[in-house]
């Protein structure tokens, strides 16, 4: 499974109306979750694929 992620981490996806790589999307998700856990944000918006 690890090799699959390494091969696909530079694939572009649309996230919050922005195009970004899976690598960048993961970074955005971690930061959002961290803000939510620290109570700096009211909600956490997770990334889902279709």
* Residue 11 binned pLDDT confidence (cut-offs 50, 70, 90): confident
Domain chopping of the chain, boundaries: 2-37
Distance of CA 23 to CAs 10, 12, 31, 39, 43, Å? 6, 9, 13, 25, 22
Give burial (CB, 10 Å; 0-12/13-18/19+) of 39. Answer: exposed
Mean pLDDT computed over 3-22? 70
Report pLDDT digits (tens) over 14-49: 766 778 888 888 888 899 999 999 999 999 888 776
Phi, psi angles (nearest 5°) of residue 21: -80, 160
Task: Indicate the pTM of the whole model.
Answer: 0.65
Other Cβ atoms within 10 Å of 32 Cβ, number? 18
Note the pLDDT of residue 50. Answer: 57
Note the pLDDT of residue 49. Answer: 63
Higher pLDDT, 5 or 40: 40
């Amino acid at each position: 499974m690890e090799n699959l992620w390494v091969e696909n981490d530079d694939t572009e996806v649309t996230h919050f109306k922005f195009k970004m790589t899976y690598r960048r999307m993961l970074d955005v998700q971690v930061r959002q979750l961290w803000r939510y856990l620290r109570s700096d944000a009211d909600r956490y918006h997770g990334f889902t694929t279709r």
